[in-house]
Amino acid sequence: MSVRVNKKDNNVNNCKGYFISNNIKDVNINNKVVQKKSVKLLRCIVCPEGCMLFTDYNEIDDRLTKIEGYKCKRGIKFAEEELRNPVRILTTTIGIDSKKINRLPVRSSIPAPKAKIFEMVREAKKIKVKPPIKVGDVLTHNFLNTGVDIISSTTIEE
């Protein structure tokens, strides 16, 4: 049995400050890729401490294989979710037909897929609503089929 480790990529990307480095290594055993390893440095954003997390992640079986730098278990959960399916609360504004404000601040009801955030912001710009609107009112259900509702962040009577 031969084990070969290929260092294929060693780039630095800066995605909103959360992913700082990204090294991909494939591990081949008898010409079968058994491990597609991402080595990533993440900033935990769960609390203001902002721990730097040093992680190894196997993309073949979707498994966090190593993590260092966390000060509590929430950091492990954050890293697992960030590597598997990163999500963020979306905050933006939409149009409103009001005498008092031009744009209505809104947010997603639950964290939205990070990969869809820019598309959601773009599409949200096309929405226009009429008052009265209360804080927490659902303005759009299942926005762009993400399972996320868009809700008002404020109350506006007229």
**Closest separation in Å from C-beta 17 to ligand SF4:** 14
d(CA 108, CA 153): 9
Choice from 19, 40, 44, 148 touching ligand SF4 (CB under 6 A): 44
Please, how many CA atoms are within 13 Å of residue 7, restricted to the half-sphere of its CB?
5
Nearest residue by C-beta to ligand SF4? Answer: 75
Distances (CA, A) of 99 to 68, 122, 132: 53, 24, 11
Choice from 49, 97, 119, 157 touching ligand SF4 (CB under 6 A): 49
Choice from 1, 7, 17, 50 touching ligand SF4 (CB under 6 A): 50
Choice from 5, 15, 29, 47 touching ligand SF4 (CB under 6 A): 47
75 versus 86: smaller Cβ distance to ligand SF4: 75
When asked if residue 72 is in the footprint of ligand SF4 (CB under 6 A), the reply is yes
* Dihedral of the alpha carbons of 47, 84, 67, 34, in degrees to the nearest 10: 180
When asked if residue 82 is in the footprint of ligand SF4 (CB under 6 A), the reply is no
Instruction: Sheet with 3-11: list strands edge to edge.
Output: 3-11, 19-29, 32-43, 52-58, 63-68
CA-angle at 145, arms to 109 and 118, nearest 5°: 70
Tokens of 37: 């390893």
| Contacting residues for 145 by C-beta, under 8 A, at least 6 apart | none
When asked if residue 83 is in the footprint of ligand SF4 (CB under 6 A), the reply is no
Choice from 19, 57, 75, 143 touching ligand SF4 (CB under 6 A): 75
Stretch that binds ligand SF4, among 4-12, 69-77, 102-110, 139-147 (CB under 6 A): 69-77
Residues binding ligand SF4 (CB under 6 A):
44, 46-47, 49-51, 70-72, 74-75, 78
